[in-house]
Amino acid sequence: MAHFDPNARPFSHQWLNDRLAIDTLKRVLSTEYWIPKNINFLWAMGMVLAATFGVLLISGIFLLMYYIPDTKQAFDSVNHTIMGEVGYGWLWRHMHGVAASVVFLIIYIHMFTGIYYGSYKRGRELIWLSGMLLFVSFSAEAFSGYMLPWGQMSYWAGMVITNLFSLGSLDLQGLVEWIRGDYVPGQAFLGRFFMLHVVLMPLIIMALIVLHFGTLRIPHVNNKDGEEIDFEAEAEKWKAGKRKEAKVIPFNPVFLSKDTFVLGIYFIFYFYLVFYHFEFAMDPVNFDPANPLKTPPHIYPEWYFLWSYEILRPFPKNPGLVAFGFAQVIFFLLPFLDRSPNVAPANRRGVFKFWFWFLLVDMIVLTVMGKVPPMGIYTTIGTVAAWTFIILWILLPFITKAEKPVRGHK
């Protein structure tokens, strides 16, 4: 039976501590949550992502007050009501649109940081897997959100992407119609994507963020050298006042102070985009209202989906879908395809170093080729890049199996 101090004033420290164990919570989650000292600003990307998600959530709530999920009114509720009539509606919309794009930039930086430093191995597999689940959920959230303004690109991207579920020659038109709730995107389609965007996907994302943080607590975050740190022993050093010798720092306030500085710099960049360079996140095509009778000359997804779109595009229908499916799941398997026990930065891992940079450059090439029209030289480059992507992943187990143990840390 817990002890409750009868003399504690309501909501005093003692009173709260008896009921919520706030001192323990604070210690476990913040002042004695140990972070390696040997890190750089890339370790702040998690915090940047959490903050960007916060911006998306808050701006989204404001937009939700005026958005109308009706095929006849959606376009004007966004482009006229929110952009012109609601005080600062334009600011919330531009913040939402730009954050939706920038969040993927940070996700990719966060992912490639993990790949580069080997932060998906030796007890950190679940961090990677929960992170990948977040990536997929963010993709679903982004896609469903893109449907809502009901512009030309909303409509036609919705048409093209839902068509993928016919699964090529299996020709599952029934499945496609079941997903759309109609033969073509219409009111039923908009209604369910609206629900996904404002209720179901945000709930899933928030649950996954909690899981992602949870998976981090026991293995702790990696560090720049992939060094295995005895966190208990190092924490004792810190608590004994040996701040210089200890290899760890407490999350709050030491790590947090650096996170906050990185956040500040990030928000300068983010608000520069919001006020002066938002066009990249708001495609002009989507400022034409949805018109089922007029297909736009170029249909392309937002930039963050382009690389996987380009893996689909250069192949014939069925192999293209298989390649697309491969691209969607392959990142999940990274911790198991990397056969090397080394947890070290890619540049110390022999052939893997080249694998990493090839993958990064290849995905950028795929991204650019995914946007330009598929003709002439672009088709060739796209096909080569798509094959390169597939081959790189097939090679990964062999390259890493042959990798020599990395000894000694700098």
Q: Point out which residues bind another protein (CB under 8 A).
A: 37, 40-42, 76, 79-80, 83-84, 88, 90-91, 105, 109, 243-244, 249, 253-254, 257-258, 260-261, 263-265, 267-268, 271-272, 274-276, 280, 282, 284-285, 287-288, 297-298, 303, 306, 360, 364, 367-368, 371-373, 378
HEC sequence for the chain: CCCCCCCCCCCCHHHHHHHHCHHHHHHHHHHCCEEECCCCHHHHHHHHHHHHHHHHHHHHHHHHCCCCCCCCCHHHHHHHHHHHHCCCHHHHHHHHHHHHHHHHHHHHHHHHHHHHHCCCCCCCHHHHHHHHHHHHHHHHHHHHHHHCCCEHHHHHHHHHHHHHHHCHHHCCHHHHHHHHCCCCCCHHHHHHHHHHHHHHHHHHHHHHHHHHHHHHHCCCCCCCCCCCCCHHHHHHHHHCCCCCCCCEEEHHHHHHHHHHHHHHHHHHHHHHHHHHCCHHHCCHHHHCECCCCCCCCCCCCCHHHHHHHHHHCCCCHHHHHHHHHHHHHHHHHHHHHCCCCCCCCHHHCCHHHHHHHHHHHHHHHHHHHHHCCCCCHHHHHHHHHHHHHHHHHHHHHHHHHCCCCCCCCC
Cβ 91 to another protein, closest distance in Å?
7
User: To the nearest whole angstrom, how small is the minimum distance from the Cβ of residue 135 to another protein?
Assistant: 17
Tell me whether residue 254 or residue 337 sits nearer to another protein (CB atom): 254
Of 249 and 392, nearer to another protein (C-beta) is 249
Distance in Å, CB of 391 to another protein, minimum:
21
> Shortest approach of another protein to residue 173 CB, angstroms?
31
Torsion of CA 17, 19, 24, 25, to 10 degrees: -110
Q: Select 138 or 340, whichever has its Cβ closest to another protein.
A: 138
Rounded to a whole number of angstroms, the minimum distance from the CB of residue 280 to another protein is: 5
For the bound state, the minimum distance from the C-beta of residue 278 to another protein, rounded and expressed in Å, comes to: 9
Nearest approach, Cβ of 275 to another protein (angstroms)? 3
| Residue 279 Cβ vs another protein, minimum distance, rounded to whole Å | 8
User: Looking at beta carbons only, is 141 or 310 nearer to another protein?
Assistant: 310
Query: Of 46 and 335, which has the nearer Cβ to another protein?
Result: 46
Closer by beta carbon to another protein, 172 or else 285: 285
- Min dist CB 198 to another protein, Å, is 24
| Nearest Cα to Cα of residue 119 among 224, 232, 15 | 224
123 or 253: whose CB is closer to another protein? 253
For another protein, give the closer residue by CB, 15 or 267: 267
Burial 267-284 (b: 16+ CB within 10 A, else e): eeebeebbeeebeebbbe
Q: Which is nearer to another protein, 80 or 401 (by Cβ)?
A: 80
Residue 335 vs 382, nearer CB to another protein:
382
| Nearest alpha carbon to residue 197 among 302, 98, 307, 96 | 96
